[in-house]
Every structure is written in C-alpha cells, then in structure tokens.
Amino acid sequence: MSYFPEERFNVSLVLTTRSVPDGDKVAYWNESVNRMLGPMTVIPRGSGPFDARIVTDRLGYLQVSTMEADAKRVSRAPAPTAPSSEALVAFGVQVSGTATFVQDGRRAEVGVGDLVVCDRSRPYSFDYPQRFTTHIFQLPQHVLGVSTSDIRHATGHAISTRDGFGAALLPFLATLATSTDACPPTVADRLAGNVVDLFATLLAERALPGTPDTDTARCHLVSRIREHISRNLSDPELSPESIARTHRISIRYLHRLFEGEGITVGRFIQKRRLEECGRELARRSGTAPTVSAVAQRWGFVSPAHFSRAFRAAYGVSPREWHTLRTAGNDARRSMADTPMPSSTMG
C-alpha cells in the first residue's frame, strides 16, 4: 500500500492521514513514519479514526520534522541494523502533550518543553497517552563526533530545557523547526553545522565524568588527532577546521577534547611546527638552511610571523638559534675528538 498524498510548500514534505480512508490510516501512517524516521511500529491508542500529520524539511544532513498525532505507542524492536544503514540519532522536543520514553533500560516521563535523545539504531519506545506535538531533529551519528557511550548516557532521560544550557537551546530549536523552508542551501548547510555543535555540546555535558569507556574513547581520539597533526605539519592548510573535517567531528567538540590537554588546537599546531623548525635549524649541514626555507617546509606561510613566533617561544631569533646550536655542536665534537691526556706514573 502506498498512498502518500503529499503537499509541497517550498522544500517541505507534508504527510497526513486526513485524505486516507479510515480503514487504511494506521497502515499508511506506519509506512509514512518508517519512510521519514526509520524502522518503527506505531499502534494507535483509541477506537476512532487515527489522525496524524508530519511536516519534514532538510538542512543539509539534518532532517527537521514536526509531528502532530493522536495518542499512540511507537516502538522499535530489537533487530540488527542492516550493514548498509547509517546509525541515526534523533533529538526530540515535546511541544504539547506528554510521553513516556524508554531506552537502554531507563524510563523517562517527558513533559512540555523537555528534550530527549534517541538512538534510532537500538530498541526504544514512546508512549503518548493523548494527542501531542513534537519537533524531531534527526542526523547521522558520525557527524556529532561524540562517542557511542556519550550518546548512551543521554538516552532514556528527559532533559529539562527550563534552565542551564537547555534554556538557551529550546527557543533556538523551536524557531528552527518552523522556519527551515525559508533557508537557501548555503545558509542551510552552515546552520546544520551550528545545530550539530549545539547537540554535541549537550551530549558532552550529559556524559558522566570519569566513565572508563568514555575516557578511553576520548584518549584514543586525541592520540589520533595528535598523530594527524604531526604527519601534516608541512601543510599550510592544516587548521582546526581541516582537522575536525578529517575526523568527522565538530570544531566545538575538537576544542573540548583539547581543553584537557592544557593547550588550544591552534597553539599545539604552532608548538609542533616550531619544534621541528628548531631541530632542523640546530643541525649542521654543508649548506646552512635559510630561515624562510625552514619556515615554509614546516607550514609557516609568512617568514616574519615565523620569526616572531620563534623568538616568543625560544627567546632568540631563528638565525641566532642556528648559530648558537651549531656552534655548541662543533664545540662538543671538538672535545670528543681531542685525545685525553695520558696519566704519568711517578
């Protein structure tokens, strides 16, 4: 069965049961939400004709939907995700009505204004005892750049948006859910990135501190990023933006990772470049390297900027460093080559 009566307003897709025969409404709605939100089963609560409507827009990789429906139960049974399927995470904001949300062995009572995080790839259920409205923001898990354990810490909870970070997040999400169809593609892609940063921050704040699997995952990621930086120091385009893009994480999350390192990402890149420049300038060779050549070889675009950064870090100019270090090396070699005076037995 595939009715799918659709109304399109700009890029919005509107699916509704109102023009579907009463006997087919439930089957049609199950097909609709599976198409829009992924595999699930919908069971209405009540004996009358089931009435529901969902409006969906896209902001790049972010799908934004508003669902209004009669009382129902929504669930995903335990089932393996198909190998070709992409893990999706949904953030729901309860606009009206209430819900009971269950995932990962936790049960949450969701009220108006509350936010929930649902991992669509694993079993869950929502019970809506009366007619309700909810905004749903769905995106691929990998673009969040957070560990699976961070997501699991947030599922099965109702997150209040009445104070703290949630208080700032709720008005933004409510406005976004009702204005996505007015965004041109270039603005939509940028806006999607900002939304991902906000959701990643929310998940990071919800993560339980000191959890071994969370800390291990972050340590591994920081280690990979450090290795990536060391391999690409010669690339002048190396930057927090390019690093975040390569590792498929948000820039905000990248900076959060380095907060525990006691240094910003940009300063760590510069520190590593200066270290390599210092090593090269300290080596004696047949032809002394020029300062500009060394700077360029390790990713500095401006020799003047390199010289200022080098002096700030080491207290001398690159040329002075080269002179002092090579002179010191020559003195040590001379001492090593000089025969030790033999002792005279009396």
Asked if pLDDT for residue 330 goes beyond 80, the answer is no
Structure tokens given for 76: 């995903």
- Rounded alpha-carbon distances, angstroms, from residue 340 to 252, 327, 335: 60, 22, 9
Q: How confident is the model at residue 338 (pLDDT cuts 50, 70, 90)?
A: very low
* 215-335: CATH number: 1.10.10.60
Can you give the residue ranges of every domain in the chain?
6-78+85-207, 215-335
Walk across the sheet containing 6-9 and list its strands.
6-9, 12-16, 52-59, 62-69, 132-140, 88-96, 115-119
CA–CA dist 276, 141 (Å, integer): 37
Number of alpha carbons in the 13 Å side-chain half-sphere of residue 299: 20
Asked if pLDDT for residue 242 goes beyond 50, the answer is yes
- pLDDT tens figures, 307-329: 999 999 999 999 999 888 877 55
Amino acid, single-letter form, for residue 84: S
Asked if pLDDT for residue 342 goes beyond 50, the answer is no
Output the DSSP codes for 33-80: HHHHH-S-EEEE-SSS---EEEEEEEETTEEEEEEEESSEEEEE-S-P
CA–CA dist 106, 180 (Å, integer): 33
CA–CA dist 129, 251 (Å, integer): 40
Classify domain 6-78+85-207 by CATH architecture.
Sandwich (2.60)
Region 136-165: mean pLDDT is 84
CA–CA dist 275, 273 (Å, integer): 5
Region 222-236: mean pLDDT is 91
- pLDDT tens figures, 189-208: 777 888 888 888 888 777 64
Q: Per the confidence metrics, is the pTM higher than 0.85?
A: no
Q: How confident is the model at residue 184 (pLDDT cuts 50, 70, 90)?
A: low
Q: Looking at the DSSP assignment, which residues form a beta bridge with residue 74? A: 42, 126
Contact between 42 and 73 under an 8 Å Cβ cutoff? The reply is: yes
Rounded to an integer, what is the distance from CA 140 to the centroid of its chain?
Answer: 10
